[in-house]
Structure 1
Amino acid sequence: MRKTKICRVLCALMLAAILSACLTVTASASGDVAGAVQSTWTKAQGQIKSVVDNVVFPVIDVILAVLFFVKVGTSYFEYKKHGQFEFAAPAILFACLVFTLTAPLYIWGVVGI
């Protein structure tokens, strides 16, 4: 009984291997693929820059601003409770917020656009 199950599994695997070998098509590119990719990047470069500047960075800025103010609030309440203000987390969030607020001014020069 066990031998027939192994035989069925092996037959199914062999059938799958044969079908995949027969039904697959090899894709090959003819011409200048690098040139096509480069021209597509050149055409889309302005759109990508616009989307990143007008959508991605503002979303990150809002998320970091909310996290910063929440962390400052929780740090204040911890200060009232324990008498010790923790500066590390708000300082890190503030530095990240300043970085992402100023990033559109210089990030494209770093990337090379």
Structure 2
Amino acid sequence: MKKKWIKILFCTVFAAVLVPVLAVPAMATGDVAGAIQSTWTTAQTQIRAVVDNVVFPIIDMILAVLFFVKVGGAYFDYRKHGQLEFTAPAILFACLIFTLTAPLYIWTIL
């Protein structure tokens, strides 16, 4: 039992001394903002292509399916209760229009 505590104490002291010594060279001592800007300008066309060709079509498809499901549900509720609830389909339609047109202007904002 005593050897176990000695090992734990030794490892703790070793880590407490070794970690600060090894962490000093790892600290950033340069132009971090410049590195981030150069990385962004290098990857910007690839990010733009992935977002325009993958992300927005997936979001559009999900919103279109949800919109048509909500319109169908609103129609059946109208037939059952005689009252048309159009809030949810209107919100989904507005979101769908927003995401369909977003690739045209989103990159000028960013």
Q: TM-score, normalised by structure 1?
A: 0.78
How far did 1:16 drift?
6.8
Does residue 47 in structure 1 map to residue 46 in structure 2? yes
How far did 1:32 drift?
2.5
Q: Which moved more, 1:67-76 or 1:26-35?
A: 26-35
Gaps of 5+ in 1: 1-11
Does residue 22 in structure 1 map to residue 21 in structure 2? no
Q: Distance in 1 between matches of 2:68 and 2:14?
A: 59
Q: Distance in 2 between matches of 1:93 and 1:45?
A: 30
How far did 1:17 drift?
4.9
Aligned to 1:57: 56
Post-superposition Cα deviations, 1:67-112, rounded to whole Å, max 9, x if no partner, equal: 000000111111111011101000000000000000000111111x
Q: Distance in 2 between matches of 1:106 and 1:85?
A: 34
Q: Which moved more, 1:14-23 or 1:94-103?
A: 14-23
How far did 1:51 drift?
0.6
Moved over 3 A (4+): 14-20
Aligned to 2:33: 34
Q: Distance in 2 between matches of 1:81 and 1:15?
A: 76
Aligned to 2:70: 71
Identity of aligned residues (%): 69
When the two structures are aligned, how many residues end up with a matched partner? Answer: 102
How far did 1:15 drift?
6.5
State the AA in 2 paired with 1:57.
F
Q: Distance in 1 between matches of 2:78 and 2:15?
A: 66
Q: Any residues of structure 2 matched to 1:66-105 within 5 Å, and which?
A: 66-105=65-104
Let me know the Cα RMSD of the aligned residues: 2.2
Gaps of 5+ in 2: 1-7
Q: Which moved more, 1:35-44 or 1:58-67?
A: 35-44
State the AA in 1 paired with 2:86.
F
Q: TM-score, normalised by structure 2?
A: 0.80
